[in-house]
Structure 1
């Protein structure tokens, strides 16, 4: 645990008793802060009581005496309306921060040589975070990852010289970290997401740009060049004198790394260098993973890792659970868990990576639905629709792809497995869970949804086959 000694003697309220809120409260108490915690939900309050934390209704305190409000990242800060704690804090001049802000303040206080890579973007964050951490560890560096993936940042090991941190940061976390200053910052891409939280696509992009707000000549900005919003952010970073590397999976870049086919290339010393190949690395299948790999390589290279070591690390990357995760193969049928694809843009990346797809989709729909995926419908043999979105998705698909209203994931897996097996072994088939939806209608989160898919697939004992009509 990282103890927040920079808050010693200060009076701090922590709202939101999820993973990050509980960790923040423990860190503050260990560091000597006068801490009180609260949650709107009984479940959260019970979790705080079970952890031995000082629970107190924040409606009943004197906000003028507070120094800081530590807000859980999922609590509305500005849109659609500020949470009541935010309104009280603003009315009384209390700073509003998140657990990641405590992390960076404590890092500065300790002064240890602890390189940090911070990663954001609409899609690809988790894979890039896991890959960057893997590359550092494979090179013999002590490295851990956390934030919006795995462990809360304040539950990571304390700051000591040589310890590396790779942090996945959502837009919610960026909004609450005003003094963020990573050694390398990665912005992968920006597509419409969380508009209800940020008010507009432009507002969402402005929050993402905060990753580089405090970056000076000593830091490295690694920014995707495949969308206009990111390109503009890269130009502004360069104009401020920040070392900026662009990454792309669609086109060459003058400074940075780009993917072409299975190769990753860099223009160095006036010549084009073929730095690595993703061919045969199943955990990095698809063009989107070329961008993820390019980003991880650029960031870790900026910390001094040699190319030979990085290329070797790529080969041993095991992949990320719930993101293009190959579960098993039964005969000619491959089962892939892409439960983390909670929007159409993420699902597009999976659909681009395969042909002959038996697609399981649906859940709690997001704005825009799946109409943007229409160009990829020819890759789909049949769609198995689940959850609240089933009717909406069936209407969007129309007659362009055969549809089964499976409704539930276990039924979808059984039907898709049988259909894929029945097509014959002349061509490989893929049963792909890539929902293009949130999970909340049927599962608490995408991880549990992915685990349910894995369990259903592992329960298949033999290549299932449908009886053929006589």
Structure 2
């Protein structure tokens, strides 16, 4: 647990005792801080009974508190805690800021921070994978894996210092004041989570704060220079030392990408280029990352190869909760001259709880779609949008019906792509539950003898689950 007496004799209130909040409270207690916790759920508060004060910070005089730790899920733009804390001059922070404050007390180490609308989970997992294969101590944290404050501090080894690789959502950055990563990256910025911000510009500004917290001599990597990322890139170049702001070199890696079975598509080329730039900054050689990239396995629910059946590939991309996230998945499987003279080959299962009206960036990728199978609340609307635009549209409502129809229609060389382009909450608890359901449906096919079990890519124990969708 990351604490190391960094918070001794300080006072903190913790609001929200889910995964990251509970881990923060435990670390603060171990560090010798005076802690007050609160959660609306009795069961969440129960584990802290008798160990610290339990009180709702909204009903407290916060004078003298060093910080109010809240979950990234708390909407600061609407929650009354924002104004209440401001009355007492108490900073609202998250567990990433606690980690930043604890850094001086940790063994020698470096930190990588990656943000962006899409691709950040794959990028941090890839960085961690390459570092581990190169022998460097590394762990994942932030919006992926175990909460950072619950993890065991890294110790240097014969190869080098430990590296904390953090996936950072805009919500987490909003709660962070002093993190200074040795290397930081922005994958891309497209509209998302706008219910939490006063427009797209404010959302982009939240992402930019990661780089504003960095020292001028530390490295900033950009996966794209499309706006508004390009403007952030230029502003950072103006305030940094020469060569400390770079754009990922996609062209240098393009010829190698066919060797990476779990990193197909233009978006994964971008993710890999960002990862390579960062690991080279940390001392990894080209020979080391070239050895590691082909051995990387997709994250669960993100372009995850579930199974191959009679030449048909099943892909679980349940984490694609908006059209901007689904578009790269559609782009990853273009028509091939070697497969039915270049006919489209994607059987796209799409729908759920729509975040937007329209096809967004998916519209440019429809030439790759052989058939669409619509599900969920947004299914009828997707049916309207896609009819006449792709060869076939099947209104299925349920995922089980969509998988059945797609399996019957797909031919060798085709791809059954479960990339809903929508939130999951109309039919499922979260995108993970939705992706698990798809995997189970594909598993039923395997049990029927039509798919060899050995072809299934992942098992439950391989899963790395994040805190925020």
Partner of 1:240: 239
CA contact (8 A) 2:399 2:438 kept: yes
Please say if 1:87 is aligned against 2:77.
Answer: no
Paired residue total: 431
Q: 2:426 aligns with which of 430, 438, 441?
A: 441
Please say if 1:383 is aligned against 2:372.
Answer: yes
Structure 1 stretch 278-287 or stretch 59-68: which is displaced more? Answer: 59-68
- How far did 1:108 drift? 2.3
CA contact (8 A) 2:324 2:360 kept: no
Q: How does 1:112-261 map to 2 (within 5 A)?
A: 112-161=107-156, 162-242=161-241, 243-247=243-247, 256-259=248-251
- How far did 1:405 drift? 2.0
Q: 1:104 aligns with which of 86, 100, 114?
A: 100
Partner of 2:72: 73
- How far did 1:245 drift? 4.1
- How far did 1:51 drift? 6.0
Partner of 1:358: 347
Which whole-Å CA distance do the structure 1 matches of 2:225 and 2:375 have between them? 32
Structure 1 stretch 96-105 or stretch 228-237: which is displaced more? Answer: 228-237
Which whole-Å CA distance do the structure 2 matches of 1:386 and 1:48 have between them? 39
- How far did 1:382 drift? 1.6
Which whole-Å CA distance do the structure 1 matches of 2:378 and 2:323 have between them? 13
Which whole-Å CA distance do the structure 1 matches of 2:282 and 2:111 have between them? 9
Which whole-Å CA distance do the structure 1 matches of 2:224 and 2:62 have between them? 45
CA contact (8 A) 1:107 1:159 kept: no
Structure 1 stretch 315-324 or stretch 237-246: which is displaced more? Answer: 237-246
Q: Residue 414 of structure 1 aligns to a residue in which SS? A: helix
CA contact (8 A) 1:371 1:396 kept: no
Partner of 2:288: 309
Which whole-Å CA distance do the structure 2 matches of 1:448 and 1:283 have between them? 22
**Structure 2 alignment gaps of length 5 or more:** 335-344, 452-469
Partner of 1:38: 38
CA contact (8 A) 2:141 2:148 kept: yes
Please say if 1:457 is aligned against 2:442.
Answer: yes
Q: How does 1:365-380 map to 2 (within 5 A)?
A: 365-380=354-369
Partner of 1:49: 46
Q: How does 1:1-20 map to 2 (within 5 A)?
A: 1-3=1-3, 5-20=5-20
Query: Compared with structure 1, are the counterparts of its residues 244 and 344 closer, same or farther at alpha carbon in structure 2 (3 Å cutoff)?
Result: farther
Partner of 1:250: none
Which whole-Å CA distance do the structure 1 matches of 2:253 and 2:401 have between them? 36
TM-score by length of 2: 0.88
Which whole-Å CA distance do the structure 2 matches of 1:411 and 1:51 have between them? 46
CA contact (8 A) 2:236 2:245 kept: no
Query: Compared with structure 1, are the counterparts of its residues 445 and 70 closer, same or farther at alpha carbon in structure 2 (3 Å cutoff)?
Result: same
Query: Compared with structure 1, are the counterparts of its residues 258 and 246 closer, same or farther at alpha carbon in structure 2 (3 Å cutoff)?
Result: farther
- How far did 1:396 drift? 1.8
Structure 1 stretch 48-57 or stretch 430-439: which is displaced more? Answer: 48-57
Please say if 1:392 is aligned against 2:374.
Answer: no
Structure 1 stretch 55-64 or stretch 310-319: which is displaced more? Answer: 55-64
Q: Deviation digits for residues 311-370 of structure 1, max 9, x if unmatched?
A: 111121112111111111110211001111111011000000114111111111112442
TM-score by length of 1: 0.87
Which whole-Å CA distance do the structure 2 matches of 1:368 and 1:298 have between them? 36
RCO greater where, 1 or 2, for CA within 8 Å and sep 6 or more? 2
CA contact (8 A) 1:259 1:291 kept: no
CA contact (8 A) 1:259 1:290 kept: no
Q: Deviation digits for residues 389-420 of structure 1, max 9, x if unmatched?
A: 11221222233232222212222212211121
- How far did 1:9 drift? 1.8
The structure where strand makes up a greater share of residues is 1
- How far did 1:19 drift? 1.1
- How far did 1:434 drift? 0.4
Query: Compared with structure 1, are the counterparts of its residues 124 and 114 closer, same or farther at alpha carbon in structure 2 (3 Å cutoff)?
Result: same
Please say if 1:28 is aligned against 2:28.
Answer: yes
Partner of 2:300: 321
